[in-house]
Amino acid sequence: MTDTIIRSVKGMHDVLPPASRTFAQIEAEMRRVFGRYGFAELRTPIVEETRLFSRGIGEETDIVAKEMYTFCDRDGTSLTMRPEGTASAVRAYVEHGLAASDPVARWYYTGPMFRHERAQKGRYRQFHQIGAEIFGLSDAAADAELIHMLADFTRGLGVRGVALGLNSLGCPVCRPAYRAALGAFLAGAAGRLCEDCQRRRETNPLRVLDCKKEGCRDATADAPASIGHLCAECAAHFAQVRAWLDAFGDAYALDPRMVRGLDYYNRTTFELLATDPEAGAQNAVAGGGRYDGLVEMLGGRPTPAVGFAIGVERLAALVPSAKEAPPPSVDVFVMAVGPGTVVAAARLASELRAKGITVELDGSEKGFKAKFKRADRSGAAFAVVIGGDEAARGACAVKALASRPLPDGVKQVEAPLDGAAAFIAGMLA
């Protein structure tokens, strides 16, 4: 028997009710809060040409090097299930020529992302992100406003126990000198680095600072920090980001080790981390930063940009309502029993739903006993019974269920079908 059960793919999960309610709550809050900041929703395809990600995210990143779901289309084109949303947003921005019309775009998006990672708690192969991007603004105010929007959004969801880390990675002017200083330091510490970091030391030394292994962290504890090597423009930009964050009242801590896993960042980077030790290594709830070179790298005009992505599963774990039992969602349980009851039951259910009342309609062949059992479990306040006799009289019986007695302790009343919806709505009010 068990051999025949088909399960979801490893690392890819169903989101069942009531957890799906938390997802919906998060999405509603996303639209409400982001809308207030002037952001509009972007929807892009889930599949893109592979070269968008290899060029946009960077061949050397873990994502491109080993985590992408890549396959050949029937015409031989290499396609990839998107591992993140920024590259697609940039592609859309360039493809639709937005830089020429109105270079400033504020977009948000949500949807599934795919990475073939080692599946474990908080790390999945299909997960969901909410992202926001601002194109066309280079000012520090844009970085800070985006960070503030992230803080506003999580606060609105009642999330506690998160801390914001902030760093600046510099720009193509100051990065080479920093890379050289870091490279020299890492050469001295090479013997203490893990195998991966030995390789990264040559290919992408900043990523060594991101390694979670204790040995590497110890070995790089005194590594030079990028904020100590910023050019004058980057230093001024970073100071302004901090001044704006102070003005917004957003708390943050400088995190000189935060380099982020994607290659395209410059200047500001930030991460929202869950502080509860239970979150373990998967404690990054959101991350983002400035990526002023990416639009040009993907064929557009040079356009500054800044963005973030939130992991919805990790955020949902911090939303307080996720831990509460959901309230019963059905108001009225309509049951049709016997011949000649279909039209009356369908009409009444439609009228009730049109009034905003939640109805579970049981039109099965089962008898009263089974239907009342189901009605009790539904959490509905009332059962409305339409049997053959009632239907013939143009009436229905409204019966109190455990959760809501009828007035004067009456257990059941008969109501004419015409006007029954208004009568029931009145009792629910």
Cβ count near 161 (within 10 Å):
12
Q: Which is nearer to ligand AMP, 84 or 362 (CB)?
A: 84
Q: Which is nearer to ligand AMP, 210 or 362 (CB)?
A: 210
Gyration radius of the chain's alpha carbons = 28
Question: Phi and psi dihedrals of 312, rounded to 5?
Answer: -65, -40
Q: Which residues contact 426 (CB under 8 A, 6 or more apart)?
A: none
Task: Give the nearer residue to ligand AMP in terms of CB position, either 49 or 117.
Answer: 117
CB of 271 to ligand AMP, least distance (A): 7
Residue 348 C-beta: closest distance to ligand AMP, Å: 45
Q: Between 162 and 223, name the residue whose CB sits nearer to ligand AMP.
A: 162
Give the nearer residue to ligand AMP in terms of CB position, either 124 or 291.
124
Assigned token pair, 110: 């949500």
Please report, as ranges, the residues that interact with ligand AMP according to CB under 6 A: 84, 115, 117, 123-124, 127, 129, 261, 284-287, 309, 311, 313-314
- In this structure, the number of other CB atoms found within 10 A of the CB of residue 14 comes to 7
Least Å from the CB of residue 142 to ligand AMP? 18
Q: Please, what is the minimum distance in Å from the beta carbon of residue 284 to ligand AMP?
A: 4
Q: Can you list the pairs that 346-352 forms with residues at least 24 positions away whose Cβ atoms lie under 8 Å?
A: 347/417, 348/384, 348/386, 348/396, 348/417, 348/420, 348/421, 351/420, 351/421, 352/421, 352/424, 352/425
Contacts of 271 (CB under 8 A, 6+ apart): 164, 165, 255, 258, 260, 284, 286, 287, 288
Rank residues 36 and 121 by Cβ distance to ligand AMP and give the closer one. 121
| CB 232, min distance to ligand AMP, A | 29
Q: What is the separation of C-alpha 70 from the centre of its chain, rounded to a whole number of angstroms?
A: 23
Nearest to 272 by CA among 156, 150, 168: 150
Q: How far is 151 from 101, CA to CA, in rounded Å? A: 31
* Shorter beta-carbon distance to ligand AMP: residue 224 or 287: 287
* Shortest reach from residue 187's CB to ligand AMP, in Å: 28
Question: Which C-beta is closer to ligand AMP: that of 124 or that of 382?
Answer: 124
Closest residue by beta carbon to ligand AMP: 311
CB of 129 to ligand AMP, least distance (A): 5
Query: What span, in angstroms and rounded, lies between the C-alpha atoms of 187 and 204?
Result: 13
Q: Does residue 333 sit in helix, strand or coil?
A: strand
